[in-house]
């Protein structure tokens, strides 16, 4: 197996599962999965993400319903619209593109999404289920990290994992997923002391802090697996948290940026959509 993990190739494998799922539904005359993309305003990152989801949906024959609202939409009107989208029985899952404008309370907006359509794992209910070890939708980046680790010829059980970052959408859910896989997990962050020393003990290092090229050789044990979740624009290029040229010498497996974790997230989202579709009777 290649040392440099190929996120795109792994994405294609997961896409095959989606294609098969859809073929089966077609063969039995079932409705194809449908996703609703909700966006307010014209944020560049949101536009980019929405377009990439649309493109993949087109390829996979997934129905897309775009709900794009003016930046200055009233909160109440927006919340009611989200509620209506959620109640549409022909919508299986909802992706709400963040950030929302400041005059809209994102918690309230998320609360309009029912648990079964919350394919990005944003609702309190899904989050609670996830941390209690029940079946739940989880943020697709965390799901992508696990998919990558599970594609490697290693056991996660007993591994010493260091997760750098404690965000609700990456650091914390990745930690919880890996505890569930019987790894020993240390969660680090900006206040961690002796960070190099802690990271250097890791069999698996997951970096999700958004600091370009922060992780150099001095943070990495020889033979460690390094998963780079960082995506920052730096000197005009999408750049990870890991100094790839340096660390790839030491690591046994490493994800590149781009082409690593990021290459999988949209596919993971649509995998969750298929799950939601299956349950949306």
* Residue owning tokens 């044990």: 221
DSSP codes of every residue in 148-162? HHHHSSS--TT-EEE
Name the minimum Å distance from CB 273 to a second copy.
Answer: 21
According to CB under 8 A, which one of 198, 200, 246, 250 is a site residue for a second copy? 198
How many residues make up the chain in this entry? 281
Return the H-helix or E-strand segment holding 206.
strand 204-207
Furthest C-alpha separation in the chain = 59
238 sits in which H/E element:
strand 237-239
**What is the rounded end-to-end Cα distance, in angstroms, of the chain?**
41
Q: x/- contact string, 55-94, with a second copy (CB under 8 A)?
A: ----------------------------------------
Question: By C-beta, is 45 or 133 nearer to a second copy?
Answer: 133
Q: Which helix (H) or strand (E) holds 36?
A: strand 34-40
Instruction: For residue 110, give the 3-state DSSP assignment.
Output: helix
34 or 109: whose CB is closer to a second copy?
A: 109
Q: How far apart are CA 77 and CA 80, in angstroms?
A: 5
Q: How far is the CB of 157 from a second copy (least distance, A)?
A: 5
| Per-residue mark of binding to a second copy, 96-135 (x: CB under 8 A) | -----------x---------------xxxxxxxxxxxx-
User: Binding a second copy by CB under 8 A: which of 186, 217, 232, 248?
Assistant: 186
Restricting to residues 12-41, name those near a second copy by CB under 8 A: none
| Residue 231: closest CA among 215, 248, 208 | 208
Nearer to a second copy, 189 or 278 (CB): 189
Size of the site for a second copy (CB under 8 A): 34
Residue 174 C-beta: closest distance to a second copy, Å: 13
Q: Considering the rule CB under 8 A, would residue 235 count as an interface residue with a second copy?
A: no
CA distance 59 to 238: 25
Tokens matching residue 90: 């022909």
Choose one: 170-178, 230-238, 256-264, 270-278; the region binding a second copy (CB under 8 A).
170-178
Binding site for a second copy (CB under 8 A): 107, 123-134, 157-158, 160, 166, 168, 172, 175-176, 179, 182-189, 191-193, 198
């Amino acid at each position: 197996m290649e040392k440099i993990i190929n996120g795109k190739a792994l994405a294609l494998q997961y896409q095959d599962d989606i294609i098969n799922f859809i073929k089966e539904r077609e063969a039995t005359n079932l409705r194809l999965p449908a996703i609703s993309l909700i966006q307010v305003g014209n944020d560049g990152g949101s536009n980019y993400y929405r377009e990439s989801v649309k493109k993949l949906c087109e390829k996979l024959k997934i129905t897309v319903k775009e709900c794009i609202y003016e930046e200055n939409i009233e909160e109440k009107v927006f919340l009611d619209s989200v509620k209506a989208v959620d109640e549409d029985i022909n919508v299986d899952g909802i992706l709400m593109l963040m950030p929302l404008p400041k005059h809209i309370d994102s918690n309230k907006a998320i609360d309009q999404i029912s648990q079964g359509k919350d394919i990005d794992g944003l609702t309190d209910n899904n989050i609670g289920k996830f941390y209690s070890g029940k079946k739940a939708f989880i943020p697709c980046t965390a799901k992508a990290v696990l998919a990558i680790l599970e594609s490697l010829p290693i056991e996660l059980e007993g591994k010493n994992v260091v997760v750098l970052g404690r965000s609700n959408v990456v650091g914390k859910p990745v930690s919880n997923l890996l505890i569930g896989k019987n790894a020993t997990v240390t969660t680090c962050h900006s206040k961690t002391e002796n960070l190099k020393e802690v990271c250097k003990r890791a069999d698996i290092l997951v970096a999700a802090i958004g600091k370009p090229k922060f992780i150099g050789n001095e943070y990495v044990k020889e033979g460690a697996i390094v998963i780079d979740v960082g995506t920052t624009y730096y000197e005009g290029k999408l750049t990870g948290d890991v100094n790839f040229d340096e660390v790839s010498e030491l690591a046994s497996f490493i994800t590149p940026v781009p082409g690593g974790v990021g290459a999988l997230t949209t596919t993971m989202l649509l995998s969750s959509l298929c799950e939601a579709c299956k349950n949306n009777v």
